[in-house]
Amino acid sequence: MPYFKVLMLLRIPFLVSVVLILIAGTALAQEQRPVPAPPIIGAKSYLMIDGRTGHELASLAPDGRLAPASLTKLMTAYVVFQALRQNQIQLQDEVTVSEKAWRTGGSRMFIEVGKRVSIQDLLMGMIVQSGNDASVALAEHVAGTEEVFAEMMNQSASSLGMLSSHFMNSTGLPNKDHYSTARDLSTLARAIIEEFPGFYKWYSVREFTWNDIKQPNRNRLLWRDASVDGMKTGQTDDAGWCLVSSAKRDGMRVIAVVLGTSSDKARIDGSQALINYSFRFYETRLLYRAGEEVTRARVWKSANEYSPLGLLDDLYITIPRGTYDSLDMIREIPVTMTAPVSQGQALAKISVNLNGDTLLSESLRALEDNPRGSFWQRTRDGISLWFE
């Protein structure tokens, strides 16, 4: 503190006191208050994550296995979306409604046995109206039987890392071997949003009419909060009232999974509270863009003396709101690196710390090739390394 020392030499105690007060005031202003505990919402389990980074924002027993009810239809949709992406089926394909699909109880789209319905209409009936009949019709069309489709659901769950989920049907109707967790369902919701943004838009549709029967989307947050743009409700006596919802404000997306509340109002109010909490106390920032030079590294015996290092994908971080300027970027670069270097090769590491805690760590990769240098360059650098 050089100014403090000068003032002491001049023996001006009043000014010293003023400086100390200003310093103390600045320190207090920069002090970060801890993030308060999340709201109590009366759910058996919930998980709140950042939709872009997957960072956990709030949770209650997120790994507890529970009946997912119609949240199951998120996985049903995911499997159908995959089949569409792989051109195994087309949206305009017509499905003949089986008697099993027609007879399936619970929430319904009201399709009729023997009639032909397009895959797009069935998807709308399942996503907006939560039609069990539509779910079974889709499953049978994609896999032949609902039982085989359930195997596909479990295969997709495994590939997504949903290790605590198991599906027995496409609807979510009760079965003791049919379960999931808040964490797994958040993983699934995030996958749908990232992999199928065009289909995800259908989760914001407020009503759909089929067979002259208009039914509203059961996710009432679509009417309450303009930032909410999906996803899916679920309810059975065993599962309680459940909701997966997603909202986006100022470029930040959050995903809320709320399981086992006592009423429709409880799941809506609880999800809204978690969404507001997340946007109020957290923010997501872009640290570096893909291909942006983060630093340069000396590469010995190379054609180019230095190699630019960066990341292959955009690097985002989720942090408590207002702490961005307190982040520390720590770059770990090996002392000696020799050519050749290939584009994309991991050469160093960058860590992001906040108050001494490491929030994330990523490899820094070569942004371009750096081949071996000429005989003269290799000889020169070899001598330099010997002295080093």
Query: Which residues have a catalytic role annotated?
Result: 70, 73, 130
From the CB of residue 320, how many other CB atoms can be counted at a distance below 10 Å? 17
Report CA-CA distances (Å) from 209 to 50, 109, 227.
33, 9, 25
What string of DSSP letters covers 37-89? PPPP---SEEEEEETTT--EEEEESTT--B--GGGHHHHHHHHHHHHHHTTSS
Sole residue written with tokens 């290799």: 378
Report CA-CA distances (Å) from 274 to 49, 190, 200, 219, 260.
10, 17, 21, 15, 15
Report CA-CA distances (Å) from 256 to 89, 96, 156, 247, 279.
31, 36, 21, 9, 12
Report CA-CA distances (Å) from 323 to 9, 172, 254, 353.
37, 42, 19, 11
